[in-house]
Amino acid sequence: MGHDIYFYEAFEEEEQSLRSFLPADINAGFTWKTIQEAGHDAPPAEIISTRTQSIYPPDWASRLGAILSRSTGYDHLLRYRRESGFSGPLAYLPLYCNRAVAEQALMLWLMLLRRMPRQMEQFARFERDGITGGELGGRTLAVYGVGNIGREVAGIGAALGMRVVGVDIVQRHKEVSYVTGEEAAAEADIIVAAMNLTPENSDYFDESFWRRCKKGVIFVNISRGELSPAVVLEKAMEAGIIGGLALDVFNHEKALAARLRGGEKNDDDEVAALMRLKEKDTVIMTPHNAFNTVESVRRKSQQSVEQFLHFRETGRFIWAV
């Protein structure tokens, strides 16, 4: 282990930002690859940092000192602890990208409501047929998961004149009108998934959910792909229930990334469904990038380094799982 800390999944701008906050005496390693793409047989440092696509090798559990995930979600960390027996400290970053992700959700539902993919395609012919969109005022926005990100989504919707309802088992924000999941499904014109992933809510947006929704509802998922299986989304689109679909996260995301980055073929039904969906002009997909603004990358880098340095000094993380 020649490094003090090793950062996986660090794209170019993020690596530059992390380096700007790291003290000069820290020996840090970087790669844009996931752990499995990097092909490391052993941990390159006692402390490693990833995002959400890396698969932690079970045999690293006894050799790692700590794991820092540069993400707001930490279900993948709990899964590793549960499956490998890893007993070391785990950490995440709960506060760095709330606004960035919420604004990405807004952009996506606006683009779908205004039929932007088709507008852009039809510019080449300067054709206006079939691209009449809608306005936000008076439409109902249902936010499933009103945590740090969901609260920002709800606030943006309310500021734009939308009727906003929230769905959450913990109703902690007085300014949000909470309803049941069933009530929100029946009323919503636009649904935003901002839920954290737990064993209990995996596949939450299943076939029975979509049978309760309005025809033509717009669905945006900026939280976890496991909440909304692609095969189910495809069926709901074919039935005319989902009128517009935007995904920044994906079920079986690791397999999808391998397919898109390296052309790796597989028999994964979820990946196949996503590959078909991405060809539709009523679907927008982005590469798990909602967090990625200049401001949030800087916050993430600063908070990651703060976490690391605090752990080196005290043996504890500031934001521990």
Question: Hey, what are 314's tokens?
Answer: 């005290």
Strands in 28-30's sheet, in edge-to-edge order, are 28-30, 3-7, 45-50, 66-69, 90-91
CA–CA separation, 246 and 111 (whole Å): 9
Percent of the chain at pLDDT exceeding 90: 96
pLDDT tops 80 at residue 264: no
Query: In this predicted model, what pLDDT tens digit does every residue of 296-307 receive, in sequence order?
Result: 999 999 999 999
Are 55 and 34 in contact, with CB atoms under 8 Å apart? yes
Residue whose C-alpha is closest to residue 9's, from 75, 90, 88, 68: 68
Assessment of whether the complete model's pTM goes beyond 0.85: yes
Query: In this predicted model, what pLDDT tens digit does every residue of 6-24 receive, in sequence order?
Result: 999 999 999 999 999 999 9
| Domain edges within the chain | 3-96+294-314, 98-285
**pLDDT at residue 50, as a whole number:** 98
Q: What are the backbone angles phi and psi of residue 167, rounded to the nearest 5°?
A: -125, 120
- The residue whose two tokens read 């669905």 is 219
Q: Which residues contact 112 (CB under 8 A, 6 or more apart)?
A: 218, 220, 243, 244, 245, 246, 282, 284
Q: What architecture does CATH give domain 98-285? A: 3-Layer(aba) Sandwich (3.40)
Question: Hey, what are 62's tokens?
Answer: 């006894």
Bridge partners of residue 49, in order along the sequence: 7, 68
What one-character-per-residue DSSP string does 198-236 give? -TTTTT-S-HHHHTTSPTTEEEEE-S-GGGS-HHHHHHH
Q: Please report the beta strands in 44-196, taking only residues with DSSP state E, as ranges in sequence order.
A: 45-50, 66-69, 90-91, 140-144, 163-167, 190-193
Report the chain's mean pLDDT, rounded to a whole number: 96
Same fold, 3-96+294-314 and 98-285: yes
Question: Hey, what are 208's tokens?
Answer: 């029975």
Query: In this predicted model, what pLDDT tens digit does every residue of 30-53 receive, in sequence order?
Result: 999 999 999 999 999 999 999 999
CA–CA separation, 99 and 105 (whole Å): 10
Residue 125: other Cβ atoms inside 10 A:
8
Using DSSP bridges, classify how beta strands 66-69 and 140-144 pair: parallel, antiparallel or unpaired: unpaired
pLDDT tops 90 at residue 1: no
Assigned superfamily of 3-96+294-314:
NAD(P)-binding Rossmann-like Domain (3.40.50.720)
Side-chain-facing half-sphere of 282: CA atoms under 13 Å: 18
Report, as an integer, the average pLDDT of 212-219: 98
